[in-house]
Chain A
Amino acid sequence: MSSDDVDRDPGTVTDQRLQQGQAMGEAMDLVDAGVTGDLELQAPSVRDNPIRAALGVAVVLLGLAAVVGFDLVRAVPSGTFVVTLVSISALSLGALALVRRLFTTIRTAETADVEDRESVTVPGTDFDAAVADAIHGVGGARFSAQQTVVDSLREATVSAYGRAEGLSESEAHERVADGTWTDDPVAGGFFAGTQTVSAVTDSVRSRLGRSSGLERRVDRVLVELAALTPGLSVDDLAGEPADDRPARRRTPDPSRRQVDRRTRRWTGVTGLGLLCVGFGLWAGYTAVPPSLVVAAAVAVGAAGYVYLSSPPPVSLAVERDLSPADPAPGESVTVTVTVTNESDDFLPDLRLVDGVPAAVRVVDGSPRFATALRGGESVRFSYTVEAVRGDHPFEPVHVVARDFSGALERERHVAADSGVALACALDLAADESVPVHPQTARRVGRVVTDTGGSGLELHSVREYRRGDPMNRIDWNRVATTGEFATLRFREEHAATVVVLVDARDEAYVAPRIDAKSAVDHAVEAADVLVASLVGAGDSVGLAALSPEWCWLEPRGGAGQAARARHCLETHPAFDGRRPAGAFHGETQERRLRRELPGDAQLVLCSPLCDDAAVAIARQLHARGFPVTVVSPDVTAHASTGQRLAAVERAIRLSDLRRSGVRVVDWDTDQPVEAAIDAARRRWSA
């Protein structure tokens, strides 16, 4: 039998696949158990530092010799020299130990910011980071960051100024480069490079919490940009009080490493003992003051204890209870975590961080707890989260256990005994009348068209033709003139609308990291839109801009509203986690166009915090699918970068309106219905 035969033999292939499957299954079991990291706890060895160890052994032997009656100090003529040598050694090695301590980095676990939703960033964070690098960076990194700041701002300025003045891009570039685009000399000189600010002054001001010269100059440019951008005023950019929350959250380690480590927190303590005795020898010569010997013994004893202690075993059982178990969206849910030490050993230092689901945020209490736990003892802590749509299983509890001294640390991830999940269905409100474009399907509906036919509103009168219904004959005219004429009314057709939710990586933005993301707002808006449109008799579909393809074909009726709701609750594109895969805008736009019925129009729910969403909306609109954008405003104004992000978003809104796309700028403090009503009034005015 040849190798080809073996490959083709179905039984062998099946066996191979079975083996591969088993291997993969075992690997996945390991991943589930979290055993993917390294266990690096090793016993210290004298071979690590042979010279220091040899010196230590020699000095200990001298001490033991003195115990049996051979006192080197008195017996040998140069005994005092030995003492001096010991003194110098102790002092220098003590000093060395302390210096080493200064350069020792404590090694410890890093806990995630589980309180906040996963991966929500504040618009403008990258620009703020570039400004910080431009102020505090050194060398090439600093120059590169300065270039990034200037380039980003120049791009926004050219865009806003060119549109406001109706200039071509090259003309706008020239004006911006020579500083003639504005009357403000500071803003004008920013790109012309005519002003310089002391780097040291900037750095000092920034460290003192004051705004730097660079930030003040950028803000002057932003004020000019606000004046050039329709729909944005200088007051909109007024600085909000700075938030002490970080603009990015610490994310959990996806590999869930299980690590044993030495924390190095006692490094250098023996140096204190050495210094103590060294000082004593030096001060009292051969007779060290007894108090210093005791002091040295305390330090050395503490350090010795570190080496005697053993790492605690971590054997924990975790239970989690939710109350209420079946919450409505937005309702507070109390999570109670019970942790039991299943071993007989005492855990002197146990730190717990509960695995709050990524899409859920904590609104009260702390999902973190520290305690000491005897063998068999249980501890309970609770906190409150806000229920959000969908099913959200809890992650394992992140456990950091240390020995008494804190020198040894075990990091573990312990899953709860029962897989409790926070499950929550959408609460639908569906009485909003959503304005749509006059592009309709050939079915009766609520959109009043310009086509004459049956309906309620008078459209025109034409000559009677055979077959016209009797009830549409203009009998008044027949009575007065004797001529037959037929009344035509504006036909009322249904629209085919596809609600498109922007759930790309770039849409996971929020004004603060503890606030709802734009995707959350967009899903809520989509929920209201779908239900309202279906209620009005339109055919409604649902799709997502996301690496996770999501498409619900447009249909009408109550069943469609339920299907859309189920999709919003359960589809991976809307699960509140930042998508991991790459999003290819053009490919997805083409695919969407293939799926869309010819008479469809789109309602895109997007924060418009990047240019790709704008490009897709314009492209679809230009291809004959009229687009309405409902855009939750999730920009903030506390920092320079955040203000720039607000200006850039206003420019994008303005660009879309110029392209004929209807835009609803939604202040998320208000319900989406209020924003739609306000937009409708503006469109009909």
Chain B
Amino acid sequence: MVGVSVVRRPARDSVWIAVAPGAVAVLGLAVDLVALAVAFVGLAVVWAATDRSSRLGVTAGSGAMFAALCYAGIRGASPALLLVVTAGTVVTWTTAQHVVGLADHLGRDAPVRRSVLVHASGASITTLLAGALTLGVYRSVTASFPPSVLVFLLVGSALLLYALEP
């Protein structure tokens, strides 16, 4: 009888679930060819890094995707589109990190699909909700307030959150 050993790498289907939101993000960046190319490379890096259980690779690939969406934003992509693209990028990043963590704890052969799907769903709802809220506020605010209101509030919140990071 042959023994079973834990192989601390993700199962292939977990990797696909992790990169699926990123694929949506890449498709959303089709409005700009440069952004599309950079995001595509970033997603490929995320895919390979998740498969090899590399957190650094996942962060680097997601960073490239984020740079691509910033570029698309500067070039004038629509806010609704960038909301979906940013949510897709953040969800792919966090789900890939989740998959790598699961692989380290439980290995390739453990049933983890439900855990990965729940994490990806939770992250999608959170990010989409935050983005949609901001979009709604922005549209209502720019009618009566100067745009610097939102910018100041956003930067201030980010600084506060950064200060609170353990």
Which of A's residues lie within 8 Å of B, judged by CB? Answer: 42, 44-46, 48-50, 52-53, 55-64, 66-67, 71-74, 83, 86, 89-90, 93, 97-98, 101-102, 106, 108-109, 111, 113-116, 244-245, 262-277, 279-281, 283-284, 286-305, 307, 330, 332, 348-351, 353, 361-366, 368-372, 381, 386, 400, 404-406, 512-515
Distance A262 CA – B164 CA, assembled complex (angstroms)? 13
- The distance in angstroms between the C-alpha atoms of A378 and B138, with both chains bound, is 44
Residue among B72, B106, B155 making CB contact with A59, cutoff 8 Å: B155
Q: Which of A45, A273, A286, A381 contacts B154 (CB 8 A)?
A: A273
Known contacts A86-B152, A301-B133; decide if A270 and B162 are in contact (CB<8 Å): yes
Instruction: Please state if A301 and B114 are interface contacts (CB–CB under 8 Å).
Output: no
A111 cross-chain contacts in B, Cβ below 8 A:
104-106
Residues of B contacting A303 in the complex (Cβ-Cβ under 8 angstroms): 158, 161
Bitwise interface map of B from 62 to 102 toward A, beta carbon under 8 Å scored 1, else 0: 01001001101110111101110111001000100110011
Distance of A679 Cα from B41 Cα, bound (Å): 64
By a CB distance below 8 angstroms, the chain B residues around A52 are 159-160, 162-163
- Cβ of B34 under 8 Å from chain A: no
**B30, CB-defined interface residue at 8 Å:** no
Q: Which 7 A-B pairs have the closest CB atoms?
A: A301-B130, A56-B159, A514-B3, A63-B152, A60-B156, A297-B134, A59-B156
Q: How far is the CA of A370 from the CA of B147 in the complex (A)?
A: 45
13 A-B pairs within 8 Å (CB atoms) are namely: A86-B152, A270-B158, A275-B70, A277-B154, A297-B133, A307-B164, A349-B119, A369-B111, A386-B3, A404-B119, A405-B123, A514-B3, A514-B5
Contact between A46 and B151, CB atoms less than 8 A apart: no
B164 proximity list for chain A (CB < 8 A): 44-46, 48-49, 53, 307
Does B150 reach chain A (CB closer than 8 Å)? Answer: yes
Q: Which residues of B contact A514 (CB under 8 A)?
A: 2-5
Q: A44-B166, A291-B73 are in contact. Are A348 and B118 (CB under 8 A)?
A: yes
- Chain A residue numbers with a CB within 8 Å of B109 are 365-366, 368
Given contacts A349-B118, A404-B119, contact A368 B148 (CB under 8 A): no
Question: In whole Å, how far is A390's beta carbon from the nearest beta carbon of chain B?
Answer: 18
Contact B83 A274 (CB under 8 A): no
Q: Say whether B115 contacts A370, CB under 8 Å.
A: yes
Q: Are B70 and A295 in contact (CB under 8 A)?
A: yes
Known: A106-B55, A262-B166. 14 other contacts (CB 8 A): A45-B164, A55-B163, A62-B148, A72-B148, A270-B165, A274-B158, A276-B73, A281-B151, A294-B131, A297-B130, A297-B133, A368-B6, A372-B118, A514-B3
Q: A73-B148, A370-B112 are in contact. Are A406 and B119 (CB under 8 A)?
A: yes
Is B153 in the interface zone, CB < 8 Å from A?
yes
A residues in contact with B159, CB < 8 Å: 52-53, 55-56, 59, 89, 93, 270, 274
Quick check: B70 and A292 within 8 Å, CB to CB?
yes
Q: How far is the CA of A102 from the CA of B90 in the complex (A)?
A: 17
The answer to whether B106 touches A353 (Cβ under 8 A) is yes
| B residues 6-35 in Cβ contact with A at 8 Å | 6-7
Q: Shortest distance in angstroms between B110's beta carbon and chain A's nearest beta carbon?
A: 4
Partner of A292 from B82, B98, B118 at Cβ < 8 Å = B82
Q: Which of A262, A371, A381 has the most CB of B within 10 A?
A: A371
- B70 touching A332, Cβ below 8 Å: no
Q: Name the residue on A nearest B135 (C-beta).
A: A294
Partner of B82, one of A265, A294, A348, A350: A294
- Give chain A residues whose Cβ lies under 8 Å from the Cβ of B66: 272, 275
Instruction: Give the residue of A44, A90, A349 whose beta carbon is less than 8 angstroms from that of B155.
Output: A90
B149 CB–A CB distance under 8 Å: yes
CB closest residue in chain B, given A288: B151
Residue among B90, B112, B148, B158 having the largest count of chain A Cβ atoms under 10 Å? B158
Specify which chain A residues have a CB less than 8 angstroms from the CB of B162 in the assembled complex: 49, 52, 56, 93, 97, 270-271, 274
Q: If the complex has contacts A293-B154, A295-B83, are A372 and B101 also in contact, measured as CB distance less than 8 A?
A: no
Q: Which of A89, A101, A307, A512 contacts B161 (CB 8 A)?
A: A307
CB distance from B78 to the nearest CB of A (A): 6
Residues from chain B with a CB closer than 8 A to the CB of A298 are: 83, 86-87, 90, 127, 130-131, 134
How far, in angstroms, from A393 to B6 measured CA to CA in the complex? 22
- Chain B residues with Cβ below 8 Å from A353 are 105-106
Q: Distance (Å) between the CB of B67 and the closest chain A CB?
A: 9
Residue B1, interface by CB 8 Å = yes
A300 and B157 in contact (CB under 8 A), knowing A108-B105, A264-B166, A349-B119? yes
The reply to whether B104 and A108 contact each other, CB–CB distance below 8 Å, is yes
Task: For the complex, give the distance between the alpha carbons of A108 and B159 in Å.
Answer: 26
A181 to B66 Cα, complex, angstroms: 64
Query: In the complex the two chains form, what is the Cα distance from A653 to B56 in whole Å?
Result: 49
Closest Cβ of chain A: how far from B44's Cβ, in Å? 20
Q: Are A288 and B130 in contact (CB-based, < 8 A)?
A: no
A477 to chain B, nearest CB (A): 65
- CA separation between A57 and B101, bound complex, in Å? 35
How distant is B85 from chain A, measured CB to nearest CB, in Å? 8
Chain B residues with Cβ under 8 A from A49's Cβ? 162-165
- Which A residues are CB-close (under 8 A) to B118? 348-349, 372
A11 to B30, CA, bound (A): 88
Question: B160 touches which one: A60, A109, A292, A370 (CB < 8 A)?
Answer: A60
Measured between alpha carbons, how far is A146 from B152 in the docked complex, in Å?
A: 60
Query: Is B129 close to A, CB under 8 A?
Result: yes
Given A64-B153, A97-B162, A293-B138 contact (CB < 8 Å): yes
Q: Which residues in B have their C-beta under 8 angstroms from that of A405?
A: 94, 122-123, 126
Inter-chain contact A63/B153, CB cutoff 8 Å = yes
Do residues B107 and A304 form an inter-chain contact, with CB atoms below 8 A?
Answer: no
- Chain B residues whose CB sits within 8 angstroms of the CB of A67 once the complex forms: 145, 149
B79 touching A291 by the CB < 8 A rule?
Answer: yes
* A363 and B82 within 8 A (CB): no
Q: How far is the CA of A58 from the CA of B153 in the complex (A)?
A: 10
Q: A305 vs B122: C-alpha distance in the bound complex, in angstroms?
A: 11
Q: Are B81 and A291 in contact (CB under 8 A)?
A: yes
- A517-B20 Cα distance, complex, nearest whole Å: 44
Q: Cβ of B127 and Cβ of A294 under 8 Å apart?
A: no
B contact residues around A59 at 8 Å (CB):
152, 155-156, 159
One of A48, A63, A288, A372 near B166 (C-beta < 8 A)? A48
Q: How far is the CA of A57 from the CA of B163 in the complex (A)?
A: 10
Of all chain A residues, the one with the shortest Cβ separation from B162 is: A270
A294 x B147 contact (CB < 8 A) = no
Cα distance A271–B158 in the bound complex, in angstroms:
8
* Contact A63-B150, Cβ < 8 Å, known A270-B165, A274-B162, A295-B86: yes
Chain B residues with Cβ below 8 Å from A64 are 153
- Given A274-B158, A292-B82, check contact A300 B115 (CB 8 Å): no
Give the shortest distance, in Å, between B22 (CB) and chain A (any CB). 14
Our pick among A63, A245, A266, A400 for the contact of B156 (Cβ within 8 Å) is A63
Nearest chain B CB to A210's CB is how many angstroms away?
19
CB distance from B52 to the nearest CB of A (A): 13
**Cα of A268 to Cα of B105 in the assembled complex, Å:** 23
Determine the distance from Cα of A504 to Cα of B3 in the docked complex, in whole angstroms: 23
Residue of B nearest to A86 (CB): B155
